[in-house]
């Protein structure tokens, strides 16, 4: 008999943007979402450990403004080093090693370079369905003023592309998408994050 699997507790950075849809996706796959608005909430209720952190889409410049309060930026930078993060769109921008167009500060956890708002002003939001290396059928991908990943480091694996550029990447236990998996009904990318976390905690 196998022991029941303890549900994972996932922090969802809730400063701004599309965090609510992540809460729904996590709940749908049996994880426990926990909104994180201030640095102290990264510790978890009564010291309960947060297993991973989702950084949602929205506007990365606005998120940076919130992160400048109470030293949140530095706390978050230290937090995502040992605790795996999963960033979507603006969240991926915040995780990147380097941000261009225009340049801005980032946490540097994921060895990629991103160009913000790379798909122009008019045709900047679109829904595509494309194959990925995640098992199963092609994945719906909702792009909203998406960045483009223009460089990936040697430790970064590309799991899906758009026009030859990576849109879903993984660096060991760190996951990032330039689209919004939380806005589709398909929960495979969130499930992949939980699987990576389960591997991480077994180490
Ligand atoms: N354009 C936004 C930024 O640069 C990202 C858009 C999104 O998260 N949907 O931060």
pLDDT digits (tens, 9 = 90+) for 124-160: 789 999 999 999 999 999 999 999 999 999 999 999 9
- Ligand 1 in reach of 55 Cβ (< 6 A): no
What is the rounded average pLDDT of the residues 92-116?
Answer: 97
With 0-12 / 13-18 / 19 or more C-beta atoms within 10 angstroms meaning exposed / middle / buried, residue 5 is exposed
Q: Residue 12: CB partners within 8 Å, gap ≥ 6? A: 19, 22, 23, 26, 33, 34, 35, 36, 53, 54, 56
Any atom of ligand 1 within 6 Å of the Cβ of 57: yes
Kindly give the number of the ligand 1 atom that is closest to the alpha carbon of 89: 8
pLDDT at site 203: 63
> Is there a catalytic annotation at residue 182?
yes
Neighbours of 79 (CB within 10 A): 20
Residues composing the chain: 203
**91: which DSSP letter?**
H
Q: Whose CA is nearest to atom 1 of ligand 1?
A: 145
Please indicate whether residue 144, judged by its CB atom, sits closer than 6 Å to ligand 1.
yes
Atom of ligand 1 nearest to the CA of 59: 10
Crossing angle of helices 72-79/60-67, nearest 10°? 100
> Three-state SS for 57?
coil
CB hemisphere CA count around 18 (13 angstroms): 21
Q: What is the pLDDT of residues 14-43, one digit of tens each?
A: 999 999 999 999 999 999 999 999 999 998
């Amino acid at each position: 008999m196998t022991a029941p699997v303890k549900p994972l507790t996932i922090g969802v950075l809730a400063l701004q943007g599309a965090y609510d849809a992540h809460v729904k996706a996590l709940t749908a796959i049996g994880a426990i979402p926990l909104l994180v608005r201030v640095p102290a909430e990264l510790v978890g209720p009564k010291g309960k450990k947060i297993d991973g952190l989702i950084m949602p889409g929205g506007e990365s410049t606005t998120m940076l403004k919130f992160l400048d309060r109470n030293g949140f930026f530095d706390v978050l930078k230290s937090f995502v080093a040992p605790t795996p993060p999963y960033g979507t769109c603006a969240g991926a921008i915040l995780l990147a090693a380097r941000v261009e167009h225009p340049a801005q500060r980032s946490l540097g956890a994921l060895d990629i370079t991103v160009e913000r708002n790379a798909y122009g002003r008019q045709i900047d939001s679109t829904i595509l369905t494309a194959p990925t290396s995640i098992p199963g059928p092609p994945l719906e991908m909702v792009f909203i003023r998406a960045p483009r990943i223009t460089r990936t480091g040697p430790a970064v694996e590309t799991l899906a592309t758009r026009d030859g550029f990576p849109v879903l990447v993984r660096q060991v236990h760190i996951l990032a998408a330039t689209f919004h998996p939380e806005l589709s009904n398909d929960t495979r990318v969130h499930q992949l994050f939980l699987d990576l976390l389960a591997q991480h905690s077994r180490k």
